[in-house]
Amino acid sequence: MAKPRLAVVKMTGCAGCQMELLRIEEKLLDAVGAIDIAYFYMATSGNRPGPYDVALVEGSVSTPRELKELKELRERTKLLIAFGDCACSGCIPSIVNWVPPQESARVYERFLEIHSKKESFQRVYPLSAHVRVDLELRGCPPHRDAILEALKGALLGIRPFLREHPVCVECKLKENACLLVCEGRPCMGPVTAAGCGAACPSNGRVCEGCYGPMSDANASSLAEIFARRCGLSKEDLIGKFRKYAGLTPAFSKEAGGAL
């Protein structure tokens, strides 16, 4: 029986999600026994064209070439997984959507040659803005356990268990003191989906929201608390909610409004 064919494809992103996939190490080697890695430029030189059974697509779409590749990949892939925050919500690259062209032009000597600024590509969007996405694997990068869960689900033909409750639940399970309540620090944990194991709060850092909105995020209420208790300005609040998931409906208002 032929093994399911897996493709790992990169769009506009930092390749951190692919690095996290490689960090699974011995468990990835076990998975290789059950999966045919047909396309993965970071890991193999023997890349083959589709069709594929599963495609992990990292990065957001910012150029005509990427859009063409994504649509072609969608046509020849059974299960397409948005791999990481850039693919799921736009993440850091999407911040350029709110930056006037005259400001971003300062970075480049020949600004008009930048493909992401031509014609319809004045903005950066997640994969779901262009094609049907079968599963969103959130995180910057996704936790290796979630990656394995997604791969196992794909092999078994079942939907994997991905957490949608807030990071606060993971903090409570680890008996962490609440950085927002106890220290008055602007922690995004109350509105951010779990899955990271409360990595930042467990090390004394506030959650920055890198897993995107939890299932029932009350962003407006948290923004009010940030302003009143933590002293954040309107500009600070916009930056908080725009950073990883400003394009999502749950955070768009606090991120400066829908585009």
Specify the DSSP element, H or E, that contains 53: strand 52-58
End-to-end CA distance of the chain: 48
DSSP tag of 56: E
Task: Determine contact, residues 214/245, Cβ cutoff 8 Å.
Answer: no
Token digits of residue 31: 């998975």
- The helix/strand/coil state of 240 is helix
> What region, left, alpha or beta, does residue 90 occupy, with left being phi > 0 and alpha being psi -120 to 50 degrees?
left
All domains of the chain, ordered by start, with CATH? 5-156 (3.40.50.700), 167-242 (no CATH)
* Per-residue pLDDT in tens (0 to 9) along the chain, 259 residues: 688 999 999 999 999 999 999 888 777 666 667 888 899 999 888 899 989 999 999 999 988 899 999 999 999 999 999 999 999 999 999 998 888 777 766 666 666 655 555 555 568 999 999 999 999 999 999 999 899 999 889 888 898 988 889 999 999 999 999 999 999 999 999 999 999 999 999 999 999 999 999 999 999 999 999 999 999 999 999 999 999 999 999 999 999 876 6
For the entire predicted model, the pTM comes to 0.89
